Structure 1
Amino acid sequence: MSIEVGSPVAGLATGLAEVPDPVFSQAMVGPGVAVKPSGGRADAVAPIAGTVATLHPHAFVIAAPGGTAVLVHLGIDTVKLKGEGFELHVAKGDEVEAGQRIVSWDPTEVESHGYSSICPVIALEVAPEALADLREDGQVVAGDALFSVTA
C-alpha cells in the first residue's frame, strides 16, 4: 500500500539538506522533503488523511490508519515562539482529511523573529527506501504531492 503525502503549505519544495537544523537535514527524525513557504498569513493543511496524533502550534503529526505517520514542522526553533502567531483549528485525536486546515500561521512573521520558516515534512519510522517520487524542487501549492510512502 502506498500513501501520497501532500504539501502542507504553498512554497518551494526542496531537499531536507536545506533545513538549517541537523535533526531534519540529516534525516535523524526520518526521510522526507522540506517546503520553503510563500510569505504572508496562510493555513497549513493535513498532508494525509488520518488521526491527529500530536498537535502543537508549531508542529503536528497525522497518523494514517495503516500506521504511516507524517510530521509537519512549521519553521525551525518556532517552539520558542510559545504558540504566538499560530492558530489551531483541530484537536489531538481528531480525524482529518488530506488538505484539511490544521494551523493558521504567518511565515513572514516567523522570519521577523529571526527563525527560519522552512517546513520539514517527514515520514516517521520508515526507511528512506520506503519513499518514492520525492519532489525536491519547484513551486508547490498546499495539497500538491511531495512524495509517496510504501507502508
Structure 2
Amino acid sequence: MSLRVSSPVSGEVAGLSAVPDPVFSQAMVGPGLAVRPAMTAGDVLAPVDGVVAALHPHAFVVAHDDQAVLVHLGIDTVKLKGEGFTLHVVKGESVRAGQPVVGWDPRAVEAAGYSSICPVVALDAQNSALVDFAPDGPVTAGDRLFVWNT
C-alpha cells in the first residue's frame, strides 16, 4: 500500500540530517524529511488521513492503518510546556489530510531560543519504503513530501 505524506507546514524542505537532534537526524525513529517553516503564525495540518494516535502541543502522530506519521514542531519545544500552541483536535479523533491539528507561531519558538524546524517521520519505516521525495526547496502546506510504500 502507498501512503502520500503531505507537508504539515509551508516552508523549505530539508533532509532529516539538517535537524539539530540526533533522534531525527540519524533517523532513529524512522525516515522522513524536515521542513524549515515559513515564519508566520498559523495552523499545522494533518499529513495523512487517519486517527490522532498521540497528541502533544509540540508534536502529534496520525495513524493510517498500520502506518503512523510523526510531526514534531521544532526541537526541544516540549520545554515550552504548551505555551504558544493551540490544539484543534483531541487524541483519538479521525482527521483528514490537510485538516488543522495545531496552531503555532514558529517566530515565537525561535524567539524562545529553539529551532522551529519540523521533522515529518514515517515511524518505524525502512528507508527503502520511502519514495518520491519532494526536492529540497519551497513547499506549501498540503503538498506531497514523500510516498510511503509498505
1:57, distance to aligned residue in structure 2 (A): 0.1
1:42, distance to aligned residue in structure 2 (A): 1.2
Q: State whether residues 11 and 139 of structure 1, in contact with CA within 8 Å, keep that contact through their aligned partners in structure 2.
A: yes
So what's the TM-score if we normalise by structure 2? Answer: 0.99
Does residue 71 of the first structure (1) align with residue 70 of the second (2)? yes
Q: Which residue of 2 aligns with 1:141?
A: 140
Give the residue type in structure 1 aligned to 2:28: M
Deviations 1:12-43 (A, max 9, x none): 00100000001100000100000000002111
Matches within 5 A, 1:1-151: 1-65=1-65, 67-151=66-150
Unaligned runs of 5+ in 1: none
So what's the TM-score if we normalise by structure 1? Answer: 0.98
Counterpart Cα distance in 2 of 1:136 and 1:28: 22
Counterpart Cα distance in 2 of 1:90 and 1:71: 15
Q: RMSD over aligned Cα, in angstroms? A: 0.6
Q: Secondary structure at the match of 1:148?
A: strand
- Matched positions, count: 150
Q: State whether residues 33 and 136 of structure 1, in contact with CA within 8 Å, keep that contact through their aligned partners in structure 2.
A: no
Question: Percent identical across equivalent pairs?
Answer: 63
1:55, distance to aligned residue in structure 2 (A): 0.1
Q: State whether residues 15 and 136 of structure 1, in contact with CA within 8 Å, keep that contact through their aligned partners in structure 2.
A: no
Counterpart Cα distance in 1 of 2:110 and 2:143: 24
1:136, distance to aligned residue in structure 2 (A): 4.1
1:138, distance to aligned residue in structure 2 (A): 1.1
Counterpart Cα distance in 1 of 2:134 and 2:27: 16
Unaligned runs of 5+ in 2: none
Q: State whether residues 44 and 101 of structure 1, in contact with CA within 8 Å, keep that contact through their aligned partners in structure 2.
A: yes
C-alpha change, 1:24 and 1:141, in structure 2 (3 Å) is same
4+ long deviations beyond 4 Å: none
Q: State whether residues 75 and 116 of structure 1, in contact with CA within 8 Å, keep that contact through their aligned partners in structure 2.
A: yes
Q: Secondary structure at the match of 2:3?
A: strand
Deviations 1:57-115 (A, max 9, x none): 000000002x1100000000000000000000000000000000000000000000000
